[in-house]
Structures are given as C-alpha cells and as structure tokens.
Structure 1
C-alpha cells in the first residue's frame, strides 16, 4: 500500500511538472524554441471608421460601444505588447490572428508602436464575413518565405455564397529549408447555441479536410500546422470525427493529425477562454505526425504547445471566482483590456 501511494504521488508530481511547462508567463525563465508560432484571437480589433459593406456600426464613435480613435489606439498598443512579450526576447516567427477588421488595423499593429521596425510581412484579404472580421498570417521574412497562398471560402449547404471568414492557407519555406503548410482558422461561433450552430463548424472542418487530403496525397510526409479559434473543443465532433485529429501519444504516423491542445483538455482552471466560469481550449494547434517524428530539420514535441498566460492578460473574476481574461469589453461596457482569449504558442526545435 505504501509503495502504491508513493508511486501515485510521483506520477501526480510528474504530471503537474510536465503540465506546468505548458504555461508561459512571459518571465525570463521561459525558454523558446528555434521557430515560434503564435496564435491570438484579439477580440474585435476594429478601427473607428464606417464600412458601408459590413455590420461595423457598433464600433463607431456614435455606436453602441462608443468606439473612438483613442480606444482603438490603446487596443492596438496592447496587442503589440502581447506579441512582443510572447516572443521571449525575440519576435515570433509566425503569427496567426483573428477578429481583425481590415488591413488598416493590421498596418497599425506592425508599422507603429511596439512592433515598428520588427520586419513583419502580412498575408491578408477582406473576407465575406458580415461583421467584417478576418484572419491573417504575419511572418518574419528572414525565417519564413511564402511559396503559395490561398483563401478557402466556406459556403454552407443550401447557400450560394460565403457569409463568414475564410480559412487562410500558406505554404512556405523556413530558414532551415523545411516546407511548412500553415492554416489559420476562425470557425463559426456558437451564437444561438452549440447544437444549433454545430453544422457550421462541421462544414468548416470538411472544407479544411478537403485541402489536407490534397496536400497529403501529394506528400505523405507534409509538415502541417493548423492553428485557430475553432469555437469547438478538442473532443468535439468537428475536430475528432471530421479532421480525425488524435490526442498526442507515444508514436505517430506521418500523415495523421495530432491535436496538441489535448494536453489541456479537462484541466480545471486552465484554458484559453472562459465561459460561464469554465475554462476551455477553443484555441488550438493541430500538427501532422511528420513534425512529431522529426522527419525534417524542424520538429515539435507532443508537449510543444503552450498557453501564454502572463498576469497582465488576466483580471479577477468577481462572478465565478478565480481569474478570467482581461478583455476589451464586458458586454457593452468598456473594460480597457486586451481580449477575451489568451494566446497560444507552438515551439519548433532544430535537430
């Protein structure tokens, strides 16, 4: 009995130790990989100008949120601070962003303020999303060079055109001569209820799957990185049944997908987003087994995904206790924060 208790105590301590390594707080002790990827849902990064083609009226000075130039600038500076801090003394090599309104706000992030002269290049286009929010990929030209780019339009069954944001696909070469296939996702929300909106995320998963099949048919050892806010959890149908993204294990197949966010599944008090007092991992990294099998120069570990959780991104949760993301708005009340999501990080290492 004593031996059993000691073994259980050891296993628990080991589990806590390994999991603690997947939380990054922005301190000097944080060790980054040779190639760092950041994904961040920045929560409604809008300018304060009217776009007659989208539903952006609430983000105008006279709108429901009284969104002014000063508030927009403060928001941009805060997002810049997050990106700078998440780099661990070097800028992230790739950055996936979602909930950005247009190229203007992207240029504002990377041409002024904290990230001025950082050397970032931007891949983005206006999506057909009704609210006008898009996804984008930002890259360091010295460590990543795009070869091919496409925007996958999501058209729901029974509709003739797309009314939501696209999935961004970029194929590129790294400074180590590895070829990466990178996807940036922001799947349809759970607005109206998880069950009633599920078919939309299943459609997004099918769209992504079709592109993945094409890539893996051409190269069964393709190094694939899928990042995003999926508005579903790692064990939901869209991720497990459509994408067939498995939880990380001890051995990997090159052409199989593995969801590194599985490490965070059902961990009390841990997640990238908090809803009604419960933390969950909506923001995820999914990779192909070839990256875990070290088939190229760059590779990742099954524990290579981290949650970026410095204290400045959190505030006290007076309703459900503990902490919650320090967001820009609570309802329509201005909160002068960062986002309702925490960023996630993927580190690749060089052999």
Structure 2
C-alpha cells in the first residue's frame, strides 16, 4: 500500500513570472501608459480583474497535488506595485492563505518589480531588503534593472535565506546581453557570501537552527547551462533542482517554438540533509497544467498569454510557474 503524499509534512515554494501585472492607473514616473483603459492595450478594469482571477487560480493549484494545501512561499516577477499584489491575494482562491507581501519599488525602466508572497501562519519574516544591481556596461548609458529581493525568515521553524530575481532580458540578443546576467550573478553571490562567509550552506549535517539554507529563485533570462548559472552560482554550494526539468519538449516558456527554462530554483547543499526535524528538498516540477496552455492553433501547448503583441488573448502569463517541495525529516 502506498503512503499518501499528504501524510507527510511538506511545503511548496514556487516562482511565477506574472507577465505584466499592472493596474489600470497611469502612474507618474512609470512607463505604464499602455496599461490604461485609453492606452495602446486598452487595459480595462474588466481585463485586470480577469487576469487577477486567472493568476490566483493558477497559484492556488501550484503544488497542491503533492501537499494538499496552498503554496507556503511564492516569488513573483513583473508586478507594477504593492497594490496589484494586495488585489491578487484577496482573490477568493487565495484569501484563505492569509498571505503577507514583501515588495519594494525598483528602478526598472518598465516599472516592474519582483516580490514575495508568504503564508503568515507558516513563514516568520525576520528581515527583508532590496539589493540594487548595476549592469551598466563600459561606455553605455545607465541601465536600470530590477533589484534582487532578499528575505530572511523561518518556514515552519526552518531558517531560510531567499533571493527573488528577474535578470536582464535577451531583447538585444542573448550573446550581447550575456555579460549583464553574469554581472548580476556575481553581485548576487557577493551578498550570499556576506550572509554566509564560512560556507555553512555546504554543510548537510548542521543542527536545524544552526544551518544556513539558501534558496535562489527567479526568471534569470538564461537556461541552466548558461554561464551566469552554471559558472557563477552552482560551483559555490548550490544545486539547480529545476535543471533536470528542461527538455526538448518542455520548459517554463516558449520562444519561436523553442522551449527554455528561464524560471529556476536553486538550493544550497544544506537542504539535502537528514538532520532530525529539518526540512529537506523532496522534488521539483513545472506547473504546466493544461489549464495554463493554449489549447488550439499553431501555438497549441504553449503558455496561454494575456497578450500576443497588441492582441488581447485573456490568458494567464507567458511563463509557467516552477516549484519545489520541502519535506520534514
């Protein structure tokens, strides 16, 4: 007889790029004119509410097959402000999760930020801060990008250091922008090393309250095999638990009919442990349920987007969420 997954004490930690979650108001100093009722995309209150409903429905199902409950922690990207997150967590599918919000306005030129949602009954917040990154290349104009969000706290008694990322895009070409993402990776690791200078993150035998457990999640605009991930992060005490999920026919987003896995979760070696009462990494997956996919036409099977160009499609996002499950020893 098999043991039900729900017989274990386990928690879902997820990341989801929400694809331009903007409200309908034109804010000063934010390039959000397109996302207004009179704007290029005719972003009406009705369309905004439909997107909130769809995103909340998706988030409510991430990891629930494995745990039977709402995600404990969700890192998110492409949110305009704290208000859109307040609207999101008040949706009927999420309100019972009693989520808290960690958000800071970033200097990104498009006005999009990263943030973290957490269940206040499970995660105790101790500290949070934005980490400013500088990706301006020599002889270039200043390049303003998203901050990295750093959060310290405990999940069901387990100390965690969490970094939520959204790295510079490939819009100007993967090769020409590669150095920017490598630069962000180096600055991220500087912070990690300041938090954990003696590399406790590599120790799989530290007692529960003495361990340094680091989770790096986000939309990296790079695949697992690219320099920024494989050379700048993984050699320093980390495992990419989402890397095995990338296949020719599977990923977290699709560009020109090619699957990529830009959305990833990396964990410190300390989360592969058998320490009594500690949480340990159990499994990871992409939540690419049929509900999140386009179901007809030449883009069948790809993420069901809100917009394709200027054409409103009324979908969820151009990315699938990724997630992992932590279990209690």
2:42 is aligned with 1:66: yes
Are residues 55 and 33 of structure 1, via their aligned partners in 2, closer, same or farther at CA, if it must alter by over 3 Å? farther
Aligned equivalents of 1:324 and 1:160: distance in 2?
Answer: 35
Asked whether the equivalents of residues 52 and 91 of structure 2 are also in contact (C-alpha less than 8 Å), the reply is: no
Cα shift at 1:195: 1.1
The TM-score with structure 2 as length reference comes to: 0.89
Are residues 104 and 32 of structure 1, via their aligned partners in 2, closer, same or farther at CA, if it must alter by over 3 Å? farther
Aligned equivalents of 1:32 and 1:311: distance in 2?
Answer: 27
Q: Give unpaired runs (5+ residues) of structure 1.
A: 1-27, 247-254
Asked whether the equivalents of residues 317 and 324 of structure 1 are also in contact (C-alpha less than 8 Å), the reply is: no
Cα shift at 1:216: 2.4
Task: Count residues with an aligned counterpart.
Answer: 310
> Residue by residue, what CA displacement relative to the aligned partner does 1:268-309 show, whole Å, maximum 9, x if unpaired?
2110001111111111010011101334610004xx211112
Aligned to 1:4: none
**272-281 or 149-158: bigger deviation:** 149-158
Aligned to 1:14: none
Aligned equivalents of 2:119 and 2:126: distance in 1?
Answer: 14
Cα shift at 1:132: 0.7
Aligned equivalents of 2:167 and 2:261: distance in 1?
Answer: 14
| The one of 259, 277, 288 aligned to 2:268 | 288
Aligned equivalents of 1:331 and 1:32: distance in 2?
Answer: 44
Aligned equivalents of 1:196 and 1:350: distance in 2?
Answer: 44
Are residues 294 and 223 of structure 1, via their aligned partners in 2, closer, same or farther at CA, if it must alter by over 3 Å? farther
2:16 aligns to what SS in structure 1?
strand
Aligned equivalents of 1:263 and 1:33: distance in 2?
Answer: 24
Asked whether the equivalents of residues 245 and 286 of structure 2 are also in contact (C-alpha less than 8 Å), the reply is: no
Aligned to 1:132: 111
Counterpart mapping for 1:30-109 below 5 A: 34-88=10-64, 89-109=68-88
| The one of 237, 242, 250 aligned to 1:270 | 250
Cα shift at 1:110: 1.0
Aligned equivalents of 1:173 and 1:70: distance in 2?
Answer: 38
Aligned equivalents of 2:7 and 2:228: distance in 1?
Answer: 33
**214-223 or 283-292: bigger deviation:** 214-223
Aligned equivalents of 2:6 and 2:258: distance in 1?
Answer: 27
User: RMSD of the TM alignment (CA)?
Assistant: 2.1
1:83 aligns to what SS in structure 2?
helix
Aligned equivalents of 2:264 and 2:6: distance in 1?
Answer: 20
Aligned equivalents of 1:97 and 1:44: distance in 2?
Answer: 11
Aligned to 1:205: 185
Q: Give unpaired runs (5+ residues) of structure 2.
A: 202-211
